[in-house]
Each structure stands twice: as structure tokens, then as C-alpha cells.
């Protein structure tokens, strides 16, 4: 059965890391909204041009355009064995559109839960390369990619992080409630080592797929 996974989680939960790791382990594509937006814009598709027009004004891409770009991406042959969605859906409207794209019973939704204080500590201690944007591991003092100096992003200050988390919770709670009562929804503890979280996600997916065959 194809593995079709949606990974949800707040900033700092390790969502991107876990999505990438799961996709690599399963040999399926990780579909990041940022990546597919850039691909669509670079390819100059009608949807890509529409997205660029919005992005150039500094606004967020709306549900209709985002849904169309994801739908376009899911028609490519590399998703036949499955995929991992990272950053989509973000709204109930996007989740409803995704249900129309694929059979909702084949979609596994995993939410990574981490206490707020842990998220604040993670994000406020995070450093990135001021030149290329590479995210450094704790204790690293220079960029491993280009050797550039590491800086703290303005939005990684503790007070800003707490506001980001408040906005995230407000905006995504309806999405969590949309999925929570499904038999294919699972939550995992993100306040563990990266390997332990990865093992829990793999076990959650296996449990869901084992029950839907």
C-alpha cells in the first residue's frame, strides 16, 4: 500500500527533519510547500505565475493557488509509491481539497507534540548561517556548508517565539480538530531524541496501514 503521510507540528518540533528522514527511509518524495512553490514559479506554469504575483507583493499564497500547485505535484509519477507532505495542508480548506485529491482513508496524519517551553528553548537557541541560511546544530560555531558566521534570526527571540507559537496554535487548531477523530490520525511525543521520534512516527504509520488493509 502506498505510504501517504502528512506531518503536522509547531515551529521547532522537528517537522521538516522528520518528514525528510521518513521520506528518505521509505524511498518516497518529501513534498515541501516551499519547494513546490519555487519549482512552479521557476517552471513558469500558470499556477506558478499566479503564485509569483502574490508572493511579489509580500502576501501569502491563497488556498486556491496552493491547492492547485499541490494537485499538480501529486500527478507526477514519483508519488506512485507514496509521499510525505510537509507544510500542507495548513488550513481546513486545504485539508478538504487534499481529501478530494486522494482517498482520505489512505492518508496518515501524524502530529508531533512538544511542550511550549521546550519549543521556546529550541528556537531561541537556534543559530543560522547569515550567508546561506544553513541551520546549525547546537554547539556549532560556524556554517558547515559555506563557513559563514552564525546569527540568531530576529523571529527566534524568546518573546517573538512565544507569539509565533500562539499564532500557530490559533490558526492550526481547526485543522487538528478536522483530523483528530479519524482512525488514521496519530500523535507522537516530539520531546525525545530525533531517532526516538522517527521510530514513533514509523510505528504510528505501520499501525495505521496495518489496520486499513
Q: Which of 153, 157, 162, 182 is catalytic?
A: 153
State the Cα–Cα distance between residues 27 and 195, nearest whole angstrom. Answer: 18
- Whether 24 is a known active-site residue: answer no
pLDDT at 126: 85
Report residue 132: phi and psi, to 5°. Answer: -115, -5
Choose which CATH entry (3.40.50.300, 3.30.70.660, 3.40.1390.40, 3.90.1150.10) describes domain 3-212.
3.40.50.300
For the chain, the structural domain boundaries read: 3-212
State the Cα–Cα distance between residues 51 and 35, nearest whole angstrom. Answer: 13
- pTM confidence score: 0.83
- Whether 15 is a known active-site residue: answer yes
Q: Which of 30, 122, 164, 186 is catalytic?
A: 164
**Which tens digit of pLDDT belongs to each residue from 23-70?**
999 999 999 887 888 888 888 888 888 888 877 776 777 888 889 989
pLDDT at 134: 84
pLDDT at 196: 97
Measured on CA atoms in the order 209, 210, 212, 213, is the torsion positive or negative?
A: positive
- Whether 164 is a known active-site residue: answer yes
Q: Calculate the average pLDDT of the chain.
A: 90
pLDDT at 8: 95
Coil vs helix vs strand at 55: helix
Amino acid at each position: 500500500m502506498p505510504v501517504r503521510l502528512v506531518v503536522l507540528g509547531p515551529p521547532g518540533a522537528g517537522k521538516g527533519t522528520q518528514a525528510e528522514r521518513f521520506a528518505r527511509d521509505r524511498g518516497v518524495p518529501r513534498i515541501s510547500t516551499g519547494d513546490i512553490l519555487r519549482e512552479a514559479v521557476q517552471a513558469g506554469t500558470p499556477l506558478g505565475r499566479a503564485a509569483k504575483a502574490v508572493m511579489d507583493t509580500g502576501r501569502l499564497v491563497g488556498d486556491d493557488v496552493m491547492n492547485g500547485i499541490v494537485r499538480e505535484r501529486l500527478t507526477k509519477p514519483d508519488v506512485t509509491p507514496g509521499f510525505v507532505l510537509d507544510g500542507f495542508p495548513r488550513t481546513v480548506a486545504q485539508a478538504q481539497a487534499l481529501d478530494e485529491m486522494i482517498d482520505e482513508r489512505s492518508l496518515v496524519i501524524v502530529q508531533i507534540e512538544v511542550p511550549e517551553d521546550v519549543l521556546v528553548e529550541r528556537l531561541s537557541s537556534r543559530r543560522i548561517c547569515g550567508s546561506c541560511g544553513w541551520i546549525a546544530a547546537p554547539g556549532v560555531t560556524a556554517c558547515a556548508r559555506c563557513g559563514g558566521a552564525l546569527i540568531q534570526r530576529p523571529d527566534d527571540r524568546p518573546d517573538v517565539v512565544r507569539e509565533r507559537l500562539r499564532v500557530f496554535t490559533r490558526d492550526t487548531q481547526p485543522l487538528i480538530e478536522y483530523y483528530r477523530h479519524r482512525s488514521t490520525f496519530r500523535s507522537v511525543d516530539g520531546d525525545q531524541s530525533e531517532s526516538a521520534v522517527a521510530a514513533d512516527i514509523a510505528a504510528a504509520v505501520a499501525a495505521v496501514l496495518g489496520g486499513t488493509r
